[in-house]
Amino acid sequence: MQQNLLEKINHRSAVVGIVGLGYVGLPLAMEFARAGLPVIGVDVDLRKVEALRRGESYVQDVPAAQVQEWLTAGRFQPTADYGELRAADAVIICVPTPLRKTRDPDMSYIVSAAENVLAVSHPGMLIVLESTTYPGTTEEVFLPPLQTLGYTVGQDFFLAFSPERIDPGNQKFSVHNTPKVVGGLTPACTQVAAALYSAAIKTVVPVSSPRAAEMVKLLENTFRAVNIGLVNEVALMCGKLGIDVWEVIEAAATKPYGFMKFTPGPGIGGHCIPVDPLYLSWKLKALNYTARFIELADTINGQMPHHVISLAADALNEAGKPLRGSTVLVLGAAYKPDIDDVRESPALDVMIELQRRHAHVQYHDPFVPQVRVGEQLLKSMPLSAAALAAADCVIIITPHTQTDWDLVAQHAPVIVDTRNALKGRAISGRLLRL
């Protein structure tokens, strides 16, 4: 069975099933289709499936023309029916792994996908999990049910984990040229999974096990979360000491070794960095171990939106105005520049806290036309000299490159700049920086 699957992959006749057609699954599906493999894409959201069937794309990094090309070529079949995966030789699971309100992992999407995939599994199938989760998930969730079917791992079926590495909006690194880590349950599993990804991705990096591959992803994002937490705390310390943190960072970054530049901000957002380290922390609590760096970084990063509110209140107070009743214009709703993704965006936390303190909240974001803040649906307002001048305070959250920062510098009466977006510009009003 292993040889048969390898031959199918080599001849580009292996059918690849992708479960979850979001920010991770859809770009991956397009890449496999581009490589010449037929792809069956499954998503339980009928709106997504119908949009894809019409040749539309809802993912910023996937042009609609690309979807249309592979639909027309017959290489991409979007569906909401898991039964279609019976024709698949390999199934890759790319479903969400959010946190519950209690800050522990919500495994329901993975468990549901596993049940549906296992119901249509067959001998010779490769199953790969890409959803970020705690070490041990692939073995604990997928292996026992497959064994109850009488399958032998590495012979009758193949099981692996390969962490997604999607960076929305990145113009340099795509699915194709971002190295892919792969860890199979047996050497045969690793070989088959590596062969599949090698058909579409430039560089594949095999590791010894699914647990190792799962830990790779958590290390990557824990590294970022902890270092962002560190530089955010440095920003808080510099504020207490009356030192310009941005000057300190730029000067430190001139060291050609032993220093990696991170910058502070209003918090962390996105589908990975605020969430993934907490999966590891949660798992280790079950082993009576406290992941102290992770939890401290989470605390510091989680406090940053409140610090931004304090800065805004201080800036308004210096202008003789209270935060309550003031009009506050927030620039940027997305969690990072030049994308439309608002998942876990600190801008939402800032706007919710402003509402709680009875400020009148407005926002502008060229990529996010509307956003729900608490019970209120806000719409992005055009950025103009009049809108800036009418705001009592402007808070810069997301430094989109197409925002007219000179206009902001010239017309906003009070500015809180959390991203150093106005660096080097002449400011006509009052400016507070993080």
**Residue 96 is assigned to a structural domain of this protein:** yes
414 neighbors 319 (Cβ within 8 angstroms): yes
Q: What is the pLDDT of residue 213?
A: 98
Domain edge (last residue) among 181, 208, 235: 208
The CATH number that applies at residue 309 is 3.40.50.720
- 188 and 57, same structural domain? yes
Give the tens place of pLDDT for each residue, 214-258.
Answer: 999 999 999 999 999 999 999 999 999 999 999 999 999 999 999
Q: What is the pLDDT of residue 328?
A: 98
Q: How many CA atoms lie within 13 A of 192 on its CB side?
A: 34
DSSP code for 165: -
Does any domain span residue 355? yes
> Does a structural domain hold residue 213?
no
What are the tokens at 394? 């402007």
Same domain, 302 and 392: yes
- Walking along the chain (434 residues) 10 residues at a time, the average pLDDT comes out as 96 98 97 98 97 96 97 97 97 93 88 95 96 95 90 94 94 96 98 98 98 97 97 97 97 97 95 91 94 96 97 95 97 96 96 97 97 94 97 98 97 97 95 93
Q: Kindly state whether residues 106 and 166 are assigned to the same domain.
A: yes
The reply to whether 204 and 256 lie within a common domain is no
pLDDT at 102: 80
pLDDT in tens, 13-39: 999 999 999 999 999 999 999 999 999
Residue 53 lies in a domain: yes
The verdict on residue 422 lying in a domain is yes
**Catalytic residue at 272?**
yes
Same domain, 260 and 141: no
Does residue 262 sit within a domain? yes
pLDDT of residue 44: 96
Catalytic residue, chosen from 94, 238, 272, 393, is 272
- Say how far apart CA 297 and CA 225 lie, in whole Å: 6
- The whole-number pLDDT of residue 317 equals 95
Same domain membership, residue 251 and residue 122: no
Between the two ends of the chain, the Cα-to-Cα distance in Å is: 59
Domain range for residue 267?
Answer: 245-433
Q: Tell me the residue type at 369.
A: P
In this structure, what are the phi and psi dihedrals at residue 118, rounded to the nearest 5 degrees?
-65, -30
Q: Are 132 and 109 in contact (CB under 8 A)?
A: no
Query: pTM for this structure?
Result: 0.93
> What pLDDT does residue 271 have?
81
**Could you say which of 180, 208, 236 is where a domain stops?**
208
Cα separation of 58 and 225, whole Å? 28
In a domain, 225, yes or no: no
306 and 168 housed in the same domain: no
Do 202 and 249 have their domain in common? no
The identity of residue 286, as a single letter, is A
Please tell me whether residues 20 and 137 are part of one structural domain: yes
Q: Are 199 and 274 members of one domain? A: no
Residues 173, 277: one domain?
no
- Last residue of one domain, picked from the residues 157, 186, 208: 208
pLDDT number for residue 2: 95
Residue identified by tokens 């920062």 is 405
Residue 149: inside a domain: yes
Domain count for the chain? 2
Letter string b/e over residues 158-175, b meaning 16 or more CB atoms within 10 A of that residue's CB: bbbbbbbbbbbeeeeebb
One domain, residues 359 and 428: yes
DSSP helix/strand/coil, 390: helix
Look up tokens 């979807």; give the residue. 67
